[in-house]
Amino acid sequence: MAPRATTRKLPRSFYDRDTVVVAQELLGKHLVHVVGGVERVGRIVEVEAYLGPHDLAAHSAKGLTERTRVMFGPPGHAYLYFVYGMHWCMNVVTQAEGVASAVLLRALEPVRNVHGRTQGPALLCKAMDLDRRCNGHDLLSDDLYVASAGREAPPIRVARRPRIGVDYAGHWARRLLRFYIRGNAYVSRP
């Protein structure tokens, strides 16, 4: 068995920055979820940036609600929401408390102990065992966090495209706020 890469949990300051910058810099990082003592690890290969209440595609555009409370909180927390009555999707809260911006994790490349498809936000959550229990979770914890990929991480080329499934958001639907690793086989929709 090959030795594990040396990874480092990302600090709060990583998340407390411009959402577009955080979104792009999440690419290639490792999402880690420890379940029953087993470390599930996936490489983040696709994300979407949601820029706060002025972004009509963001959940926070409807204001502070019970559902969006985590988005309005401090950076570096997981915002999970339920869609279509059956799927969970995970976001990473960015910028200062009250800004209400986040980055949706859209696809992962399995690294360790990840089974099932990971191309799409709902499939990613299912494969990583992420659900309601993780909503509001501090990403500086020891059981759910994002880490650097280590020194041997390959260089990446980032592609920019419009976000998926936000046609209702007018001109915000056309903004190039989806980022992915060009040429990666695990991207949900190149």
For residue 187, being part of any structural domain is answered with no
6 occurs within a structural domain: no
pLDDT digits 0-9 by tens, 31-65: 999 999 999 999 999 999 999 999 999 999 999 99
In a domain, 33, yes or no: yes
Residues β-bridged to residue 50 = 102
Q: Is residue 5 part of a domain?
A: no
Whole-model pTM: value is 0.94
**104 falls within a domain:** yes
Let me know if residue 188 belongs to a domain: no
Contact 141, 10 (CB under 8 A): no
| CA distances (Å), origin 43, targets 30, 56, 151 | 4, 29, 14
Asked if residues 32 and 108 have their Cβ atoms less than 8 Å apart, the reply is no
Q: pLDDT for 130-162, tens place per residue?
A: 999 999 999 999 999 999 987 777 789 999 999
Domain count, the chain: 1
Mark 129-147 as b/e (b = at least 16 C-beta within 10 Å): bbeeebbebebbeeebbbb
Whether 186 maps to a domain, the answer reads no
Q: Is 7 part of a structural domain of the chain?
A: no
pLDDT at 175 over 80: yes
**Model confidence pLDDT, tens digit, residues 69-101:** 999 999 999 999 998 878 999 999 999 999 999
Residue 38 is part of which domain span? 12-181
- The closest of 26, 12, 31 to 140, measured between CA atoms, is 12
Helices (H), the chain: 12-15, 19-26, 121-128
Q: What is the CATH number of the domain that holds 88?
A: 3.10.300.10
Q: What's the rounded Cα separation, in Å, for the pair 158 and 182?
A: 6
Least Cα distance to 47 among 167, 146, 168, 152 occurs for 146
